[in-house]
A and B are shown apart, each in its own frame.
Chain A
Amino acid sequence: MITAPRASESRAAWWFLAPAILLLAVFFVLPVLIGAALSLTDFDLYAIADWRALRMVGLRNFAETLSNPLFRTAVANTLWFALLALPLTLVVSLALALLLDHSALRARSVFRTVFLAPFVTTIVAVAVVFRAMYHPEYGLVNWALGLVGVAPRDWLGSTAWAMPALVLLRVWKSFGYYVLILLAGLQTIPGELHDAARLDGASPWQRFRAVTLPGLRPSLVFIGTIALIDALQLFAEPYVMTRGGPVRATTSVVLVMYEEGFRWWRMGSGAAIALLLFTLLLCVAAGQRWLERRWRVS
């Protein structure tokens, strides 16, 4: 039954939408647009005091940012972080999701709760905890590695190990969320497919390759995208644990943006960094769409 919109209904709709739309427009859409405009100006400490000091500088912020060695280091570090975190997250989450999905496993909900607990913790607090755990002499991590015969190392103090240390924290904190999504994905795979494969004499590994993995593809693409987008926004871990060090080894893009904006009050160049990051994230989202479409066709 299709009826013309009633006046009272449509009026009510706008009243109900008004608070959300107003808040989103003023405190989300407007700032994004202002940010784009700011990136073309030399907005700094003087402009905060007096807007008239503001000048248009065209694309200079972008040119300067892209040629700034600190920004380039930050991009390389952030990509390195993502490159380490993404496969590790996918493998760990997939393995544990398959484990939890196993029909013989008891107390499934207890395991699920334990795995999800790190996800709801505050990143600052667990960064503080991990900083202590990574202590070269007294830390839990080196102690545990010692039990299995791995030599201790100065995790946060060495340029080589600081980033992997942050990656481990990220994987620990987030994998439970991804396990949850993969578990939901596993439920959508019809049991008959597994039965049929078993009748055909497929080994567990063959069934995993031919039934489980294709069935999980949408969930895997989804969590891969989320994990990548989150990894590219790395901030709290280096802010609390390393301050971007040692020797800038863990300086991330958002950390540089934060320092440009709120330490040096160079809002123009900070906004340029935000826009460059956004472009990168859009590419990731576009990549996800492309992957999904390609697989739907094939």
Chain B
Amino acid sequence: MTRRPALLLHGVALMAAVVTSAPLLWMCVASIMPTGEATSTPFRWWPSSPTLEHYRVLFAQLDLGRAAMNSALIAVLTTAASVCCNGLAGYALAKLRFRGRRGITRLLSLLLIVPAPIALLPLFLVLKSLGLVNSYWSAVIPGAATVFGTLLVRQYALAIPDDLLDAARMDGASEWRIVRSIVWPAASPILASLAIWSFVASWNDFLWPLVVLSDDAKYTLPVALAALAGEHVQDTELMMAGSVVTTVPVLILFATLQRFYIRGVLAGSVKG
């Protein structure tokens, strides 16, 4: 390869990276601008005097810290439930011999194409009749067991050798013991992918918590931010600070654990 095409290649890639990251960079910069500076000409890429005032307002006056705690709690509970439910179910469908296995697997593959918004209204009614609306559980439930998660684990667990499991059974190990000492370690990479995938999906979810959490003390970050965005349309710097608080935790999580996240994305895409 000669010099000039390589230079062009890197130039184009760099340009694409700049355009891609510009909105997020500007979000961070605008969040520390003094009030009014993000909506003034000429356009600025750096505050005249950086300030954390907007973050102070968000946490001290607008109680965004509470929304952050709600988001964290719901995302952690969802992740734990998802790893347990989908992990066990996926393993059972992949490796345990029982009648009905094929039928259930096929049914799940069919359900995979039903998108969540379809069930939105009736799911609300179901939770309402169970008295769960406006509780944290109502926000956790849709992500606790998912068709996608179960099939993801199943696909991976298929590769666990049967001989290994049967040998353990010969030695008199209980099924539960086998799960803990063989399956859990063997499947840990895909469970890690599932965990980070569940966490990010739960943290970012908007439509469902918007519907089901009516008490603003229970709002998650996206719902609280959307409510703020309606009231504080003019306070651009404040809204940018709120967006930073909402996006940066998942961005950091993604940056540190992206190996697992990417594996989850790719494993999910193979299934179709």
Which residues of A approach B to under 8 Å, CB–CB? 3, 5-6, 8-10, 12-14, 16-17, 19-21, 23-24, 26-32, 34-35, 38, 48, 96, 99-100, 102-106, 110-111, 113-118, 120-126, 128-133, 135, 137-138, 140, 143-144, 172, 176-177, 180-181, 184, 222, 229, 233, 235-236, 239-240, 254, 257-258, 261-262, 267, 270-271, 274-275, 277-278, 281-282, 285
Contacts and interface: CB of A to CB of B under 8 A. Distances in A.
B126 A16 contact: no
12 contacts: A14-B92, A21-B89, A24-B111, A28-B111, A35-B119, A103-B1, A114-B17, A120-B251, A122-B246, A125-B221, A129-B26, A131-B229
Contacts of B77: none
Contact of A132 (B38, B223, B247, B254): B38
B251 A19 contact: no
A132 B250 CA distance: 22
Interface of B: 1, 5-6, 9-10, 12-13, 16-17, 20-24, 26-27, 30, 38-41, 43, 84-86, 88-89, 91-93, 96-99, 101, 104, 111, 113-115, 117-128, 141-142, 144-147, 150, 169, 175-176, 179, 200, 203-204, 206-207, 211, 221-223, 225-226, 229, 236, 239-240, 242-243, 246-247, 250-251, 254-255, 258, 261-262, 265-266, 269, 272
A117 B92 contact: no
B21 A114 contact: yes
Main secondary structure of the interface of B (DSSP, over half): helix
B13 to A, nearest CB: 5
A104 B145 contact: no
Contacts of A124: 206, 222-223, 225-226, 229, 246
A99 B93 CA distance: 40
Contacts of A258: 120, 207, 211
B97 A10 contact: yes
Contacts of B113: 281-282, 285
B247 A122 contact: yes
Contact of B104 (A21, A104, A229): A21
A111 B84 CA distance: 34
Given A20-B145, A121-B24, A274 B118 contact: yes
A19 B85 contact: yes
B88 A16 contact: yes
B269 A184 contact: yes
A130 B23 contact: yes
B43 to A, nearest CB: 4
B9 A31 contact: no
Given A120-B250, A132-B38, A138-B41, A235 B117 contact: yes
A129 B240 contact: yes
B23 A129 contact: yes
A31 to B, nearest CB: 4
- Which of B1, B40, B125 lies at the interface centre, i.e. has the most chain A CB atoms within 10 A of its CB? B125
B240 A10 contact: no
